[in-house]
Amino acid sequence: MELVLALRRAGVTDPDVVATMERVPREAFVPEAFQDKSYQDITLPIGHHQTLSQPAVVGLMTEALELDDRKKVLEVGTGSGYQTAILSPLCRRVYSIERHAPLLEEAEKRFEKLRIRNVTTKVGDGTLGWDAQAPFERIIVTAAAADVPPILADQLSPGGIMIVPIGLTDDFQTILKVVKTDHGLETEELRDVNFVPLIPEEATGT
């Protein structure tokens, strides 16, 4: 299968992550015009200048979170809901923030259709995190930031992991794995990527 081969090429080896990505129907999150490309290892547009990440990147970021069924996860950038659907069976609960209300509405319909029950969502500015539900054992950011967002780092549990793309130009973006230790934040570069920017602004219904 093309998706599994893409995961192997990216170095994704966690059997739970691979099995989950095999089960979740990516075509359910892909716009009608791109259905024939659902399982290609490419980024696809989903409207509102947002994208559906390529499967290899989704797999890599998910694996790097080191999830289990006790973890509470904050996802910044619901988008189509595909990454959310991958996280859902691998953790206790996902709290997901999306700044585009129409995208979130469509994602919520997909969650309902797929019977995904352990996801809580809201429209908002993801750079502010979700203070009322903090702290989180895991945080995943699905848009590129200039640096590790300090508010999100504050909402990370001790020993927690954040996965975030860093870099605001097409020339250089890299996925960072951030671990919160007693001595501060330890970071590790995972791979180069190309994400839409994380934009701090007021939530909007447009």
Under 8 Å between Cβ of 173 and 148 = no
Q: Which residues contact 201 (CB under 8 A, 6 or more apart)?
A: 99, 125
Is 80 one of the catalytic residues? no
Of 135, 134, 140, the C-alpha closest to 60 is 140
Q: For the purposes of burial, counting CB atoms within 10 Å of the CB of 206, is it exposed (0-12), middle (13-18) or buried (19 or more)?
A: exposed
Under 8 Å between Cβ of 162 and 178 = yes
Of 43, 10, 38, 9, the C-alpha closest to 25 is 38
Tell me which of 53, 80, 88, 96 is the catalytic residue: 53
- For the chain, the 3-state helix, strand and coil shares in percent, each to the nearest 5, are 35, 35, 35
Residues known to be catalytic: 53
